[in-house]
Amino acid sequence: MSTRLDRTAPLSLNAWLRFDLVARLLPADAVDVLEIGCGQGGFAARLAQRYTYTGIEPDPASYAVAQQRLAGTGTVANIRLEDLPPARFDLVCAFEVLEHLDDDTAAVAAWATRLRPGGRLLLSVPAYQHRFGPADELVGHVRRYDPTGLQALLTGAGLEAVEVRHYGMPLGYLLESGRNAVAKRRLRQAGRASAAERTAASGRLLQPSRPLRGLVHRWATAPFRWAQRATPGRGPGLVAMARRPAGNTPGPVVH
């Protein structure tokens, strides 16, 4: 990644750990990508370097930042998936989105309908329900996921070749502990906010606000990004990839 990109679309420490795995799973044969819940566009700016990019973000504040970061390189809209005109993509992404949704089964089914036959769904979620803590509550998480449950969810949506990997060992555990400590204090202030309001704000929470932090975070996580590759079966986060069967004739795009 270029120095300029790190300055204009900085990633948080944990996002760097996540993107290290995501980048290694990105399909080389895809042409266009839809990202659901693109937040402030940190991943979006990077995906737009490789694909014809479309992103949707329902939170107006996060959308405004993403729109600026994607200017001239991709398309981002302040809408929900059901408001997106009918279209199908080679790759559909949803990073740190599924855990916010009450009906995750319906969500994955809707995302799958946006895939062309042979297209891939790529998503990330926090790992293991027993690790649910104050940070999850603060940002409006409904649940966390065990690898087997996530695989079953994707298979149940008619997807195949499901692959689930961990990331974040060991730094991710330390970062999660820090987020939980911060969240305990912030929950006293955000206690009256609804789950929807917390979810909307989650794309802005703990995001680097100063461009130079993008460079600092990149280099600070470099040894840990290499370290996590040696322990693909451990970590507090999950990334999953699944494919729509190539012989699967698309039905109507459902909302």
The pLDDT of 154-161, averaged and rounded, is 98
Residue 40 and residue 207 in contact, taking contact as beta carbons nearer than 8 Å: yes
For the entire predicted model, the pTM comes to 0.91
pLDDT in tens, 85-121: 999 999 999 999 999 999 999 999 999 999 999 999 9
Tell me, letter by letter, the H, E, C secondary structure of 220-251. HHHHHHHHHHCCCCCCCEEEEEEECCCCCCCC
Residue ranges of domains in the chain:
3-130+143-169+208-243
Identify the architecture of domain 3-130+143-169+208-243 in CATH: 3-Layer(aba) Sandwich (3.40)
Helix axes 171-190, 211-229, angle to 10 degrees: 130
pLDDT in tens, 217-237: 899 999 999 999 999 999 999
